[in-house]
Amino acid sequence: MGNVAVLMQGSGHQVAGSDKGIYPPMSDVLRDADVEVFQGWDEEHMQTFQPDLVVVGNAVTRGNPEVEYLLRTRFARSISLPDLIGSELLEDRLRVVITGTHGKTTTTSLTAWLLKQFGVDPGWLIGGVPRSLSSGSELGNESSPFVLEGDEYDSAFFDKRSKFIHYRPDVLVINNIEFDHADIFRDLKDVKRTFNHLIRIVPDNGVILANGDDPIVQELLPVAWTRVLFVGSETKNDYVISSFEETKEGSQFVLQGPGGSSWQYITKLKGHYNSQNSAMALLAAAYSIDSEDVSGFLEKANLDSYTGVARRQDVLFESEHLEVIEDFAHHPTAIRLCIGSIRNCYPGSEIVAVFEPRSNTSATKVLQLEFTQALSYADRVLISPVHRADFYSNEVRIDTGEMAQVLNRSKVQATAFSDKNALFKNLAGLDRDQQRVVLLFTNGSFGEPLQNYLGLLHGKG
């Protein structure tokens, strides 16, 4: 919401908004953009600002005082945030929409960055903090492509369509499809349904870049009405990723195209999944510039100086024997792939996975088995208390104690904690002479207990 508010203010609109607990850096970004912020929700805010249009975020529910005032008086038109983006920000621009259960933020950020490196002035809207771009949002030139994350989450309490339906892509990336967002979707079939709806609105002069190694993606594609190109490691794909190698400094791979053409890339990003993200970004950028001749772009493109997105394999501490790395991964597949990559890059090190069940999917039992299996790729597992545990009934809430028992039976040292401070105290007590990598998995924050642990490692505790 904050990034879109800044973009709308920058495009000539007068913008204000209401929220509770806005903190830096977003509070500073809004202030610098002259966006007025009302603390909390009260119908007086509506009466004071007198908006012509009200944008309702998907976290807002019935019972909110401003929503009730809006519905009661009908004094202004209201729409969802994705509807605003699709109808106001994107307008007549070529739309590059990056979708998938994993990798959206990295791929979106990299696509926008590649376009800038090529001399194009794109717009973008990114859900994370890109290190290689000036901000998470930019209008760019109106004649240039606009790149944005296509989230399958719903749009608002009155609009249960997935956000990406509003974006009407010209270049669509489908990086992978798995079950997630258990609070929104009933099952994998339900997730496939919304992706199928998205595929149906790609125009005949558009292009879909799809993960040809993903069996779920392959169930939905190809289609007759638009061009579909498959990307992946298997040789049957239109674009094939090969010769992948990785170290703790980064990775390299070769992208092979139709007709025997190939291009080699070196990147600071680790993990084979990031070679897939990178290949998708390269092709999305290339096809958004010239869909008939992409080889010129791919020949000139260079990934060397791209530095990624915050909280994706961030190194928080490094010493001779220990590295502490934070990753946003909050789905079993992402956790498994990240652990596998770190094991490749740090051979001989003990891998310790610290997992916080925090998202609406990970905090419930729906994928408990899959989370347990993903964490089993580590040598030691410390499981944090469930975030907002009281929000879930005992029947619904993930059973971290049971997870630890299963992991211990499979020869992985695992402990479920009822207190974060106790978890990090246990972590701090591990033998410091052993080669070890600590992987922190949360889509939120471990907060003060983590900061105390890092302070101790830096000799401040």
pLDDT of residue 312: 82
Read off the pLDDT of residues 33-92 as tens digits, 9 standing for 90 and up: 999 999 999 999 999 999 999 999 988 999 999 999 999 999 999 999 999 999 988 988
Q: What is the pLDDT of residue 21?
A: 75
Tell me the DSSP string of 35-95.
Answer: -EEEES--HHHHHHH--SEEEE-TT--TT-HHHHHHHHH--SEEEEHHHHIIIIISTTS-E
Place of tokens 């347990």: 372
Domain limits of the chain? Answer: 2-82, 90-300, 314-457
Q: Extract the runs of DSSP E, i.e. beta strands, from 66-179.
A: 77-80, 95-99, 123-125, 137-138, 146-149, 154-156, 159-162, 171-174
Closest C-alpha to 270, from 291, 286, 288, 247: 247
Distance CA 435, CA 322 (A): 6
pLDDT at site 459: 83
CATH number for the region 314-457 comes to: 3.90.190.20
| Three-class secondary structure of residue 303 per DSSP | coil
> Which residues does 289 contact at the CB level (< 8 Å), separation at least 6?
115, 118, 120, 145, 297
Residue ranges of the chain with per-residue pLDDT less than 50 = none
Amino acid present at 86: G
What is the rounded CA–CA span in Å between residue 54 and residue 58? Answer: 13
CATH topology of domain 2-82: Rossmann fold (3.40.50)
Q: What percent of the chain has pLDDT over 90?
A: 80
Contact 398, 368 (CB under 8 A): yes
Greatest distance between any 2 Cα atoms in the chain: 67
Q: What own/partner pairs with CB < 8 Å and gap ≥ 24 does 219-225 have?
A: 219/192, 220/174, 220/177, 220/192, 220/195, 220/196, 221/174, 223/199
pLDDT tens per residue across span 301-343: 999 999 888 878 889 999 999 999 999 877 899 999 999 999 9
Q: Could you give the CA distance from residue 376 to residue 369 in angstroms, rounded to a whole number?
A: 11
pLDDT at 461: 53
**Which residues make beta-bridge pairs with 210?**
174, 230
Structural element, H or E, at residue 31: helix 26-32
- What pTM did the predictor assign? 0.91
* The pLDDT value given to residue 26: 79
DSSP letter (8 states) at residue 459: T
CA distance 18 to 45: 8
Cβ-based neighbour number of residue 266 at 10 Å: 13
The structural architecture, per CATH, of the domain 90-300 is 3-Layer(aba) Sandwich (3.40)
